[in-house]
Amino acid sequence: MSGPLDGITVIDLSRALAGPQAGMMLGDLGARVIKIESETGDDTRGWGPPFVGPDHDISTYFLAANRNKESIVLDLKSHDGRDILTRLAERADVLVENFRPGVLARLGFSNEHLHELNPRLIVLSISGFGHDGPEGGRAGYDQIAQGEAGLMSVTGSAPDDPQRVGVPIGDLLSGMNGAFGVVAALYERERTGKGRVVRTSLLASVIGAHAMHGTNYLVGGKVGHAQGNHHPSIAPYGLFQADDGPIQIACAAESLWVKFANAFGLDPAAEGMATNRERVHNRDAVVAAVNAALAGHTSEEVLVKLAEIGVPCGHVRTIDQVYTWDQVASQHLLLKVDHPVLGEITIPGSPLRFDDNAYSGGREAHLPPPGLGEHNESIRAWLADSDE
């Protein structure tokens, strides 16, 4: 397989997105990831449209979070299912689960029992609102967590227009945090010889991404709110209008503001605009002045000029424009895999690269997202061989 986690075996008991994202990240790094599914499969196999394939039954949502995995179908309420999971747990390095708190224990696989089977096992447990506390048993879905954890209150055009982030960011952050915790626990195991339980939640992950909104309130006593496409603490920094469409400009330092203002006929030391504090206080006037300065210019003209003087700026690209952008291809963010039904397909690659390697993630060869139960026989054969 190659990759930093080559030789590590992961049991992925999770479904939907947070846990599968964590498992996929570990797989991208070279781990062997065995995905355990029910007879109906991961929930996301039914999430769409779009559905693709000859029978239009393959969910592109599922394809997004399950590359570099093998799939085996088990009924964990049956003797056979529990037996296979037991044998896998004895051999694995990591187990990922995102059941509601207590469900895995009721199936006979409490953390204590898992560590009796394998003291070196690292268990990653992802929940909606945490495994304990007054609301620890709540089911968690991304949009619910975005609202409960305050993210929607600071996203949108105005305080009365709360919006969710356009991707399931709570799930994705939970997966990322979970994978980070697993790698730390694997490193610790080299020293102690023992595994441990790593926990995160959608609630914790969204709050962990509050950044300045957290300290603005906890230290400064200021409650943040949605204010559209402009930064709450920097101006001008946000979305502006050229003649033919929007562009983004970020004057995140006084020197950048001076460069921008001089290039577009504004007085950088004008009353109410001389410092960032003043510009934030007078944001509406600053935004209006910048938009007025851009009038008569196309977005490309503005972007070229800003690039020449060193002011950070950019397009607002649609998804199709992103995936046809040569910079994206140069970063190996387009991954070709040979799917057993769809043939060769292109999917997003890993955001990580190591050294100057020209491949996505930490491994040279990537596996396509598996069909339901595609590896039933090969995984059982591997267990039988290792028993012998």
For residue 356, the model assigns a pLDDT of 76
Residue spans of the domains in the chain: they are 9-209+337-387, 237-317
Task: Judge: domain 9-209+337-387, CATH 3.40.50.300.
Answer: no
Question: Which tens digit of pLDDT belongs to each residue from 37-89?
Answer: 999 999 999 999 999 999 999 999 999 999 999 999 999 999 999 999 999 99
What number of other Cβ atoms are within 10 A of residue 321's Cβ?
A: 11
Give residue 361's pLDDT band: very low, low, confident or very high (50, 70, 90): confident
Task: Of 218, 216, 223, 203, give the one whose Cα is nearest residue 146.
Answer: 203
Tens digits of per-residue pLDDT, 374-384?
Answer: 999 999 999 99
In degrees, to the nearest 5, what angle opens at C-alpha 87 toward C-alphas 86 and 88? 90
Judged against a pLDDT cut of 90, whether residue 197 lies above it is answered with yes
pLDDT digits (tens, 9 = 90+) for 288-337: 999 999 999 999 999 999 999 999 999 999 999 999 999 999 999 999 99
Let me know the angle formed at the C-alpha of 156 by 249 and 164, rounded to the nearest 5 degrees.
115
The share of the chain scoring above pLDDT 90, in percent, equals 94
The neighbouring-strand residues paired with 182 are none
Type of residue at 293: A
Nearest-angstrom CA–CA distance, 322 and 318: 6
Task: Say what the pLDDT of residue 137 is.
Answer: 84
CATH code at 237-317? 3.30.1540.10
State the pLDDT confidence band at 359, using cuts at 50, 70 and 90: confident
- The owner of tokens 């051999």 is 91
> What are the angstrom distances between the C-alpha of 117 and each of 23, 28, 80, 91, 120?
21, 27, 17, 9, 9
- Beta-strand runs (E) in 190-322: 197-201, 237-242, 245-250, 313-314
In percent, how much of the chain has pLDDT > 70?
A: 99
Pairing of strands 58-59, 94-97: unpaired
CA distance 167 to 188: 33
Give dist(CA 67, CA 48) in Å, integer: 18
The mean pLDDT of 273-288, rounded to a whole number, is: 96
Pairing of strands 343-348, 9-12: unpaired
Residue 320 annotated among the catalytic residues of the structure: no
Rounded CA gap, 38 and 201, in Å? 23
| For residue 353, pLDDT beyond 60 | yes
Span 85-97, average pLDDT: 98
Per-residue pLDDT, averaged over 346-361, amounts to 86
Query: E strand or H helix at 203, and its extent?
Result: helix 202-207
In the set 43, 142, 171, 320, the catalytic residue is: 171
Look up the pTM and report it: 0.93
pLDDT at residue 1, rounded to an integer: 55
The answer on pLDDT for 364 being more than 90 is: no
Contacts of 123 (CB under 8 A, 6+ apart): 94, 95, 97, 111, 114, 115, 195, 196, 197, 198
Query: What is the predicted pLDDT for the residue at 203?
Result: 98
Pull the structure tokens for residue 216.
């603005």
Cα distance between residue 2 and residue 371, in whole Å: 23
The 10 Å Cβ neighbour count of residue 133 is: 11
Mean pLDDT of all residues belonging to the chain: 96
